[in-house]
Amino acid sequence: MARRTPLYELHRQAGARFTEFSGWEMPVQYTGIIAEHQQVRSSAGLFDVSHMGELEVRGAGALALCQRVATNDASRLAVGQAQYTVWCTDDGGTIDDTILYRLGDQRYMFCVNAGNAETCRDWIREQQKHVPGADVVDRCDELGLIALQGPRAADVARRAHGAALPDLARFGCAETTVAGIPVIAARTGYTGEDGFELFVAAGQAASLWQALSEVASEDLTVASIGLGARDTLRLEAALPLYGHELSREVSPLEAGLGWAVKLEKGEFVGSRALAAQKQRGPARRLVGLELKQAGIARADYPVKSGDRTVGVVTSGTKSPTLGTAIALALLASESVDAPLSVEVRGRAIEAERVRTPFYRREGSR
């Protein structure tokens, strides 16, 4: 049976429709995916992402263990900073994509995907054997996670007595309180908007959710947002979703995440394979596509150049913000500049390669 987050009962009372995702019974929508999507782009939305996992790394060897398992350079993190980082296998395939928070001098925390939480926990405990002085604490059950996202997220935080939140820099993190409830707050998200992610004790997650919901007023709307809109929001922002853009068969270099792979930091799991891949150039590349004819590209649809299959769509939808059919696709590197089409139910629909992200919020670069 699917697991439920500490907020399940609140979602049910709010009339959410549920879906199973990575073994969890999660709200997929409340009012409708497009309305929820627009709510986040225009004001603020609350997401229950308590299914995500948290693995804390502590001790004198904490930094060394983080450096060993993940591709980004954790030594660049000051206390109160976070970074996007990827875990790879020895052959450079992706185990998971994560955010790493530096909470203290010798205290780091990885936020991992729900579907990979157990794998990551087992993996890092195995890697721990090679690094003296590092402890791994599984905090997956102990912590809930609420994302507050949207251009008005900082206003919502202020009204909910989370005065420290708007002071956080992008990718900053701090142990603070919101509505008097202790949280680990970070200025991170998965929507392409400004916003925060709040780790909270599972037992207090419902109180925090209610406190954030209750500050809503006519001039500052806040709504609950399901996984359906979370997916369309992240896709417009061209943020990868594990199992679609990333997998054991796809390296972070192929997925366009080379900026989070710091080969110069020294050896780490997968570094040799990734260095070799970088030198010869990745065989595939993740690109953004926009369909030029009627139709919607969906995950697993073939991408063609003429009659030749040159890749596959990893995610696709009709963009609620742009009104066009957008997709991310993994293509053979030599074909990324060729004329492309997506095969939609046996028909070739002309596709144009476009820059990502598909959507960029005002004021962001």
Partner 1 sequence: MELPEDLKYTREHEWVAIDGSVATIGITDHAQEQLGDVVFVELPSVGDRVEKADAFGVVESTKAVSDVYAPLSGEVAEVNDDLPDNPELINEDPYGDGWMVKITLGDNAGLDDLMTADEYRKFIEESATE
Query: Per this entry, what is the length of the chain?
Result: 365
Q: Name which of 174 and 296 has its Cβ closer to partner 1.
A: 296
Q: Cβ distance 120 to 95 under 8 Å?
A: yes
Task: Name the nearest CA neighbour of 174 among 182, 189, 186, 161.
Answer: 186
Binding mask 29-68 toward partner 1 (x if CB under 8 A, else -) reads x--xxx----------------------------------
Q: Cβ distance 351 to 291 under 8 Å?
A: yes
Please identify, among the stretches 99-107, 151-159, 248-256, 312-320, the one whose residues bind partner 1 according to the rule CB under 8 A: 312-320
Residue with tokens 């030599």: 334
CA distance 320 to 42: 12
Q: Cβ distance 324 to 288 under 8 Å?
A: no
Please identify, among the stretches 28-36, 132-140, 178-186, 255-263, the one whose residues bind partner 1 according to the rule CB under 8 A: 28-36
Judging by beta carbons within 10 Å of its beta carbon (0-12, 13-18, 19+), is residue 162 exposed, middle or buried? buried
Q: Cβ distance 171 to 83 under 8 Å?
A: yes
CB of 97 to partner 1, least distance (A): 22
Asked if 191 touches partner 1 (CB under 8 A), the answer is: no
Amino acid letter, 79:
V
Restricting to residues 207-246, name those near partner 1 by CB under 8 A. Answer: 228, 231-232
Paired strand residues for 29: 17
Restricting to residues 246-305, name those near partner 1 by CB under 8 A. Answer: 294-296, 298
Please identify, among the stretches 52-60, 90-98, 316-324, 328-336, the one whose residues bind partner 1 according to the rule CB under 8 A: 316-324
Q: Name which of 277 and 317 has its Cβ closer to partner 1.
A: 317
Asked if 312 touches partner 1 (CB under 8 A), the answer is: no
> Which of 318, 353, 360, 361: binder of partner 1 (CB under 8 A)?
318
Q: Name which of 149 and 251 has its Cβ closer to partner 1.
A: 149
Find how far residue 322's CA is from the centre of its chain: 21
Site residues (CB under 8 A) for partner 1? 28-29, 32-34, 228, 231-232, 294-296, 298, 317-318, 320, 325, 345
